[in-house]
A and B are shown apart, each in its own frame.
Chain A
Amino acid sequence: MTSTLAYSASGENTLPRSSRFTKAVDDLRDGLNAWELWGTLGWHDLRQRYRRSTFGPLWLTLSTGIMAGAIGVIYSEIFGQEIHDYLPFLAVGLIVWGFISASIIDPCYVFILSEGVIRQVRAPLSIHIYRVVWRNLIVLAHNMVIYVIILVVFGIWPGAPVLLFIPGLLLLSISAFSTGLLIALLSARFRDLPPIIANITQILFLLTPVLWRTDQLTGGRRLIAQLNPLYHIVEVVRMPLLGKIPPASSWISVIVVVALSCVVTFWFYARFRARIAYWV
């Protein structure tokens, strides 16, 4: 709870811009400081999902493993790819994609589902987004077990490039937070958005090189595939894990996209944060 709250406004919906910006910054900072709350809730969500099941959160790992194994075997036959080469690529891609798609879909309902809490206590709204990002990072950590198994089974040693996974993951998490906040805000206002976003995410999965590789494409198609910002986000995380160094072009694309999404989201959040309690 804050010690002093103060709002001021001259007319309908016209808080002074500077005050709106300060309050949005306060919200983001106070939200981050409440890490005990969203940290607990993030774990709680996952324990909840698998409560009373024998394997518990291990199901996260198992599900991804089964998915990667099945697609790996079938598609390596269809695409005529060497399984030693294809399966690690696919498994890592699926792990990363799992994080990305959850980071797009989960925020759709986060404010709507927390409606009770939002209308009962005053807390920074950003905690709900930190919670989602944290929860998905825990899922990602569970899935990394599969990555380790694959390294062992296929005798891969990624070497030093694997260290680049850390900045890659950091960029991925920042973009998950900024886009998540925007999606959550818009979904609270426009209730048609969640199903629209779910459908778009499905299509993005097919458009992003997770099941396939860009070098299977030629000419113009390959160029188009590289215009997809998600391709680069996947690459900066996937390539280090497979022992390769992502090209500078991918790093630059990701940094530009992340910076842009932060600016856009911040503007929206500053403008509409106070309205969310009325919308939910």
Chain B
Amino acid sequence: MDRVSVSFPIYDARSRSIKKRVLTAAGRGRIATGESNHVVIRALDGVSLNIEHGERVGLIGRNGAGKTTLLRVMAGIYEPPAGTVEVEGRVAPLFDIGMGMDPESSGYENILLRGLYLGLRKAEIRAKIEEIAEFTELGEFLDMPLRTYSAGMFARLAFAISTSIDPEILLLDEGIGAGDEAFLEKAKRRLDALINRARILVLASHSDELVRKLCNRAILMQNGQIAASGSTDEMLERYHGKASVPASSPAHAAGEPVS
């Protein structure tokens, strides 16, 4: 990843409408139009980063520091307008485990849909379906529509599907919850196994414990830039040390409107 920048255009209701474009073009000439009629937020600012095989990277930093955006760039969801990204290997983002779940469909149908979204073939999903079903312990409920599930049952299913993948590069965002106490222990083991299978892990988290336990390297993000990179202990210390000090240069602050 070399000098990657990502900016988000924030269109409010006015600047997004064609009406304004047409009206300004027709009425007041070109002065009012142009690129400056929407706010741009610079979420990543010249980030350069190299992650090698076997590295378990923790992304730390305050809310809005650019952790999630960085993960999404790595996942190939946001293609950065500036900079280059090269990723070798199968990437699996695990951001929102409830993604693409349909409340009206049965548990089995949801397993199929979700698997297809993750890029699996039907045959591959069929091979996994039994294992997933068994893990959820939902039994006959898997034939019922999801809307009849309790929150805990829903979480079990979402978790089981999301973690049934075999990625080379695993991207995790924040904590992943999964149902009641008894299940939690089982879920933890499964997540650990998944993480161990992956050759590269990138985890964005606010939990020091999680970062210390899972990662062998940490990156401290600040204002859309990499503030520092090094061992987890060192970075966590720095993060907490800095947390009380206000952001260094407000001009570069992420969230600060540029133009």
Contacts from A to B (Cβ < 8 Å): 1-13, 15, 34, 36-37, 40-41, 44, 48, 51, 116-123, 189-193, 196, 274, 277-279
Contact = CB atoms under 8 A, between A and B. Distances in A.
Contact of B119 (A1, A11, A44): A1
B79 A7 contact: yes
Given A9-B80, A12-B82, A191-B17, A119 B72 contact: yes
B65 interface: no
Contacts, number: 116
Contacts of B11: 279
Contacts of B76: 2, 5, 122
Contacts of A193: 18
B contact patch SS: mixed
Nearest to A192: B17
B37 to A, nearest CB: 13
Contacts of A278: 8-9, 78
B20 to A, nearest CB: 9
Interface stretch (B96-104, B196-204, B220-228): B96-104
Given A36-B122, A278-B8, A7 B80 contact: yes
Contacts of B242: none
A2 B89 CA distance: 8
Given A8-B84, A190-B17, A192-B17, A122 B90 contact: no
B16 A190 contact: yes
A65 B117 CA distance: 36
A3 B89 contact: yes
B215 interface: no
B130 interface: no
Contacts of B13: 191
B82 A191 contact: no
Given A11-B82, A118-B77, A44 B18 contact: no
A contact patch SS: mixed
Interface in B57-108: 72, 75-93, 95-96, 99-100, 102, 104-105
B77 A5 contact: no
B95 A48 contact: no
B100 A116 contact: yes
Nearest to B100: A117
Interface of B: 7-9, 11, 13, 16-19, 72, 75-93, 95-96, 99-100, 102, 104-105, 109, 112-113, 116-119, 121-122, 167
Contacts of A13: 81
Given A121-B99, A277-B79, A1 B92 contact: yes
A34 B72 CA distance: 22
Given A48-B105, A51-B104, A121-B118, 4 more contacts: A5-B86, A37-B117, A123-B117, A279-B9
Contacts of A196: 18
Contacts of B75: 121-122
B53 to A, nearest CB: 15
9 contacts: A6-B87, A7-B79, A13-B81, A51-B104, A190-B17, A190-B18, A191-B13, A191-B16, A192-B16
Contact of A7 (B84, B99, B112, B119): B84
A4 B91 CA distance: 9
B162 to A, nearest CB: 10
Nearest to A117: B100
A37 B122 CA distance: 9
Nearest to B145: A51
Contacts of A277: 77-79
B8 A5 contact: no
A121 B72 CA distance: 9
A120 B104 contact: no
Contacts of A15: 81
A110 B96 CA distance: 20
B17 A7 contact: no
A44 B99 CA distance: 16
B2 to A, nearest CB: 9
A6 B4 CA distance: 12
Contact of B90 (A1, A34, A41, A121): A1
A235 B78 CA distance: 43
